[in-house]
Amino acid sequence: MRLMRIGEFGSERPVVAIDEDSYVDVSDLVSDFNEEFFGSDGIERIRPQVDARIAAGEVKKLAGERIGAPFTRPHQIICIGLNFRDHAEETGAEVPPEPIIFTKSPNTLIGPNDSVKIPRKSKRTDWEIELGVVVGRRARYVESVEQAANHIAGYVVVNDVSEREFQLERQGQWSKGKSSETFNPAGPWLVTPDEVGDVGNLQMRLELNGEVKQDSSTNQIVYDPAFLVHYLSQFLVLEPGDLINTGTPPGVGLGHKPELYLKPGDVMTLSIQRLGSSSQTVVDAD
């Protein structure tokens, strides 16, 4: 299934997308795609009703409604640094022997086509297309990578927007450069594993104003989603609905020579095979 939420910010309702233009409303079946939903096996619980509604022709057109993030604000957003082989090669860095972990404020989460705000006093706001992993079951000391795969609700396109000066030059944790408002567009869909297929072979692409900046594949990921769920669960508890951003391929603004950063009016267009596409316009923070 492809879970989606539509409506104004803060008042979204849960639906299941059929394609880019149509959906089945499930707001009478579940209150939202949240911790309670994922933690109670909500995906499998609503699957028969969704199939029945599709068969009965109870399909609606999107008709220009705003698309929100496909799940509600998680307890935590955990990010993995330097997790693409081709990105490591681009930066001249060695692949880390264990995942590099940092956090991002959960209130950075916005819809896939919402505007991204450049923070006040920022001169180095950057883009990062990433594969997002949404946790489906509480993960605490998961015993194996194979078991960890059963804790994944699905996958989502995310943009791990970053302010490089805040991140790299202002001392302290990377979270400082990762947690400005609007810095985590996600969606349009949360796609369940059965519809994704081989998550280790999905094309990823980010364009800036129509020019390709990032073009890679998830086959370049060093530590794959199931490994990350298993690994993280040895250090912390992952709750249903938590988000893991799994790292970015080469082509970010920081890697350009000279460096290239976002400015008001820029448009970022992102896509991951089988997970859909998104587009964000850049604006100044008010």
Token duo for residue 107: 């209130």
State yes or no: pLDDT of 174 exceeds 80.
no
State yes or no: pLDDT of 163 exceeds 90.
yes
Rounded Cα distance between 205 and 218, Å, is 11
Answer whether 121's CB lies under 8 Å from 142's CB.
no
Of the pLDDT bands very low, low, confident and very high (cuts 50, 70, 90), residue 74 is very high
Fill in the DSSP letter of residue 100. E
pLDDT recorded at residue 91? 67
Quote the mean pLDDT of the chain. 95
pLDDT recorded at residue 39? 96
Cis, bond preceding 225 (omega within 30 deg of 0): no
State yes or no: pLDDT of 179 exceeds 90.
yes
Token duo for residue 63: 């008709």
Burial 112-138 (b: 16+ CB within 10 A, else e): bbbebbbbeebebbbbbbbbbbbbbbb
CA–CA–CA angle 280, 284, 286 (5° rounding): 120
**In the CATH hierarchy, which top-level class contains the domain 73-284?**
alpha beta
Higher-confidence position of 170 and 192:
192
State yes or no: pLDDT of 172 exceeds 70.
no
Q: What is the mean pLDDT of the segment spanning 32-40?
A: 97
Answer whether 240's CB lies under 8 Å from 38's CB.
yes
pLDDT recorded at residue 213? 98
State yes or no: pLDDT of 124 exceeds 90.
yes
Amino acid identity of residue 278, one-letter, is S
Rounded Cα distance between 70 and 127, Å, is 20
Token duo for residue 54: 């599709």
State yes or no: pLDDT of 238 exceeds 90.
yes
Of the pLDDT bands very low, low, confident and very high (cuts 50, 70, 90), residue 67 is very high
Across-strand partners of 212? Answer: 207
Rounded Cα distance between 133 and 184, Å, is 13
- Say how many C-beta atoms besides its own lie within 10 A of residue 74's C-beta: 24
Fill in the DSSP letter of residue 66. P
Of the pLDDT bands very low, low, confident and very high (cuts 50, 70, 90), residue 236 is very high
Amino acid identity of residue 68, one-letter, is G
Rounded Cα distance between 34 and 38, Å, is 6
CA 142 to chain centroid: 23
State yes or no: pLDDT of 137 exceeds 90.
yes
pLDDT > 90: percent of the chain: 89
State yes or no: pLDDT of 86 exceeds 90.
no
State yes or no: pLDDT of 90 exceeds 80.
no
- Domain boundaries along the sequence of the chain: 2-67, 73-284
pLDDT recorded at residue 66? 98
Give the tens place of pLDDT for each residue, 213-231: 999 999 999 999 999 999 9
Of the pLDDT bands very low, low, confident and very high (cuts 50, 70, 90), residue 96 is confident
Token duo for residue 158: 């995310």
Rounded Cα distance between 158 and 248, Å, is 10
State yes or no: pLDDT of 61 exceeds 80.
yes
